[in-house]
Amino acid sequence: MKQAVTNFGRFYVSFNRLTIPGDKEEYKKVLVLQYTNNRTDSLREMRPAEYIALCKSIEELAGYDKELKAQRSSCLKLMQELGVDTTDWHEINDFCRNARIAKMPFGRIGLDGLRDLRKRLFALKAKGWRRDTAKEPIYMLNLAGVLGKA
C-alpha cells in the first residue's frame, strides 16, 4: 500500500504565491480534481505521484522554482568564493550544517532560508573570511627528514 501525503507545506508555499481571483478554496479543489482525474477534491486523498505533479505545476506557475534555482546558484557561487569546494556535496552540506550558517543540509533549505544564507555569506565575504584549505594531503608532506634523506 502506498503511503499518503501527510505534509502539504510544499503545496501551500507555492499556492499562496498565486494571485487567484475569487475563492482560493474552490480553486484548490478544482486543481486537485484536475490532477486526480476527478477522483477526489481533497489534498489528503491524493496519491504521492499526483501530489508531486500538482506541486511541480504550481511551483512553475508561481515562479517559485526559478527563484529557488537562482538563489541556490547565488549561494553556491558565494560559497565557492569563500573557499568551499562546490563540486563536493558532502563539503557543501557540512558547511551549511554549521549552527552559524544554516543548521541544515543545503538541499533542505527553502527559499527564505536561502535568502538568509545569502546575507550571511555576503557578510562573511565582507569580513574577509575564507575556509581553511591549507590542509595538505599526507603524500604532499616533506618526508625527506623523516626518512633520513637530505
CB atoms within 10 A of CB 35: 20
pTM, rounded to two decimals:
0.63
CB atoms within 10 A of CB 117: 22
What's the CA gap between 81 and 75, in Å, rounded? 10
pLDDT, tens digit (0-9, with 9 covering 90-100), for 13-36: 889 988 888 899 999 999 999 999
pLDDT bracket for residue 102 (50, 70, 90) = very high
pLDDT, tens digit (0-9, with 9 covering 90-100), for 37-62: 999 999 999 999 999 999 999 989 88
